[in-house]
Chain A
Amino acid sequence: MEISSFVLFWAAIFTSNILLTNFLGMCSYLSVSKEVESSFGLGMAVFFVLTVTSALNWIVYHKVLVPLGLVYLQFVFFIIVIAAFVQLLELVVERYAPALYYTLGIFLPLITVNCAIFGVSLFLIIRKYSFIQSIAFGAGSGVGWLVAILMLAGIRNRMKEKFVPAGLQGAGIALIITGIMALAFIGFSGIVNVQ
């Protein structure tokens, strides 16, 4: 892959947004996006964890699993790395930044089962990114996820007073909004292509 890390970072936000084109991280995206403030908290947590775990998982895969011939166990190792890192982060944040813990803390357990984190780790192995590219891709995907959840939360906030057909209330209308957002993001797709 000769694509530069800088381009990859922006591409991960706009042209191949982790949520709007790859559908990753939908579960927490739909359930948390009712308030802008909590969406921002979860989005920031996802961004941070995604950046660090993509670096960690790159190291685990290329420096540990490949030399040992344990590639077929990658799923288990990635999940453990992610869960352990989230747990560690929770302890550190609680100890040294209690104020931050109260805003981000409740979202940290949600992140372990967020498909976006695990999905990005799998993508960077499949697409054979280098170490720097992996960090750029992870950070870009995190920002992209943050942007998407903030947009949905903002729109849902405005829709509170509006009429929504009974069968579509809740998740249904959120899916439609996301569909329109995804349609808008297709407008970016010609700029750069990463697959």
Chain B
Amino acid sequence: MTKKEIFLVSAFKENSVIRQILGICSSLAVTNLMMNSLIMGLGVIFSVSLANLTISYIRNWTPRSVRMMVQTLIIAAYVIIVDIFLKANMPDISKQLGPYVGLIITNCILMGRAEAFAAKNKPIDSFIDGLGAGVGYTIVLLLIASIRELFGFGTLFGISIMGSWWTKWSIMVMAPSAFFILAILVWIINNRYYSSKA
């Protein structure tokens, strides 16, 4: 596979959230605002691509029996960088995301990509695969967030879209809407693009 194909496959064709329902623990919780989703997505792109790169570099020296622990610690190191960066530069968003930044560590996408791709492939390919997985995750996050923020607050990225007459749908801000919107998204995409497989 060429580098471009690796990226496209892991971002769209095998999109972790839609196709494998991985990593939704955190993806549902932060999607009530576009800004939070974007920051969360960037955090995941950063940690998954660099963690993949590192794991791939040391893949031949890692004993099989402890590789899960090694992978987790590598991921944790990058997530700590993201957390410290957010605390220092965007304290408000860091407070809103709360524990969900730390939860990137247990996000199944990172572990999944490390295990399925980085443990077997060359560093640069792994980096691109991680980049793809992160971008795919961010796009899904932003899709869900755009619906929730538009109807829940009448804004996008905090900019008023609907005007002052808009009655906020408080259900969109609450938990159940996240489940419904993701389910509908999965439904539409499965029917539209993967109907032969589904």
Chain A bound to chain B: yes
Residue positions of A touching B, CB distance < 8 A: 20-27, 30, 72-76, 79, 83, 112-115, 118-119, 122-123, 126, 165-169, 171-173, 175-176, 178-180, 182-183, 186
CA distance A83 to B75 in the complex (A): 15
Residue numbers in A under 8 Å from B28 (CB-CB): 23, 26
| In contact, B80 and A172 (Cβ under 8 angstroms) | no
Interface size class on chain B is 35 or more
Q: How far is the CA of A21 from the CA of B107 in the complex (A)?
A: 17
The answer for the CA separation of A114 and B102 in the assembled complex, in Å, is 13
Contact indicator A83/B180 (Cβ below 8 Å): no
Quick check: A23 and B175 within 8 Å, CB to CB? yes
Q: A interface, by DSSP: helix, strand, loop or mixed?
A: helix
Chain A residue nearest to B95 (CB atoms) is: A126
Is B90 interfacial (CB-CB < 8 Å)?
no
Residue contact B106 to A118, C-beta cutoff 8 Å: yes
Residues of B within 8 A of A73 (CB): 80
- Most chain B CB within a 10 A radius of its CB, from A72, A115, A122, A180: A115
Q: Is A75 within 8 A of B176, CB to CB?
A: no
Q: Does B99 contact A (CB under 8 A)?
A: yes
For window 64-108 of B, CB contacts with A under 8 Å fall at: 68-69, 72-73, 76-77, 79-80, 83-84, 98-99, 102-103, 105-108
User: How far, in Å, is A32 (CB) from chain B's closest CB?
Assistant: 13
B176 adjacent to A122 (CB under 8 Å):
no
Tell me if A182 and B175 are in contact (CB < 8 A): yes
Q: Are A175 and B99 in contact (CB under 8 A)?
A: no
What is the distance, in angstroms, from A180's C-beta to the closest C-beta of chain B? 7
Can you name 13 extra interface pairs (CB under 8 A) apart from A72-B84, A76-B77, A119-B103?
A: A23-B24, A23-B26, A23-B28, A23-B29, A27-B108, A74-B102, A76-B76, A83-B69, A123-B99, A167-B195, A171-B186, A179-B179, A186-B176
